[in-house]
Amino acid sequence: MPKEDTLEKEPKERILEAGALLFATKGYAAVGVREIAELAGVNVAMISYYFSGKAGILKEIILRYFDEVKGIYDKVLAQNIEPEIALKTIVKELVNLMKKKTIFCKVAITEMPFNLPEFMEFKAEVARRHIDYIKQGLQLIKLFVDDNRYNSIITPAAISLIFSHFLFGPFIQKVWNVELDENYYNLYSETISTLLLEGLTGLIKKLNNKGETK
């Protein structure tokens, strides 16, 4: 029983969260272990102890993110629902995930292209998994095109679209001055789904209809 009560999380978890927050804010390479340790309220040496180095924190973050994503795909694909609904559900769930664990997701996504030599292998494996999930998803909802060239365009496009909000980060709030509340993320999830399925024209049409019927 290392703690009087479990109000405060375990050191390992605190390191992970501190790391994620800092990586998300400043980028992996720009963050120092001391900074992480300080924010986590642990001794620097503990980072090597728990994660055997700074890179270990990033690895853990990415792995956890992919476990979550895998969970979402598995759950939705297990149900046999209409293509359009399935895609919307996936988008909604992914957005939900990002809402709940924004910084974890942001780190996992944005730090993936980072080419630390030791990460190449690890990330290739992780990427293969992700793409495979999407492929399964698109197949199921009959939107899969059996053409490598198209897939190499559509898959990154879809991912970028869904994650666009998080790729742009704190800019969005600063530039458009919107409040990022529950309603906003519902709107986001819906709008992205529409854009992904029917594009800008579809979105405009929908908005006009709403305007008329109002």
Partner DNA sequence: CATGAATGAGAATTCATTCAT
Partner DNA sequence: AATGAATGAATTCTCATTCAT
- Interface contacts to its own copies, rule CB under 8 A: 25-30, 87, 110, 112-116, 124, 127-128, 131, 143, 145, 148-154, 156-161, 163-165, 167-172, 174-178, 184, 187-188, 191-192, 194-204, 207
Side-chain-side CA neighbours of 77 within 13 Å: the count stands at 17
> 28 Cβ partners below 8 Å, 6+ apart?
58, 107, 111, 114
**Is the Cβ of residue 8 or residue 32 nearer to its own copies in the bound state?**
32
Stretch in the footprint of DNA (CB under 7 A) among 34-42, 125-133, 159-167, 195-203? 34-42
Cα Rg of the chain (Å, integer): 20
**What crossing angle do the helices spanning 11-26 and 33-40 adopt, rounded to 10°?**
130
> 169 Cβ partners below 8 Å, 6+ apart?
24, 106
Residue 127 tokens read as 């990427």
**Is the Cβ of residue 79 or residue 160 nearer to its own copies in the bound state?**
160
d(CA 90, CA 77): 9
CB under 5 to 8 A by kind: which of DNA, its own copies, none does 7 bind?
none
CB under 5 to 8 A by kind: which of DNA, its own copies, none does 33 bind?
DNA
Stretch in the footprint of DNA (CB under 7 A) among 49-57, 84-92, 173-181, 190-198? 49-57
The answer to whether 46 contacts DNA (rule: CB under 7 A) is yes
**Is the Cβ of residue 16 or residue 138 nearer to its own copies in the bound state?**
138
d(CA 41, CA 212): 56
Stretch in the footprint of DNA (CB under 7 A) among 40-48, 80-88, 130-138, 149-157? 40-48
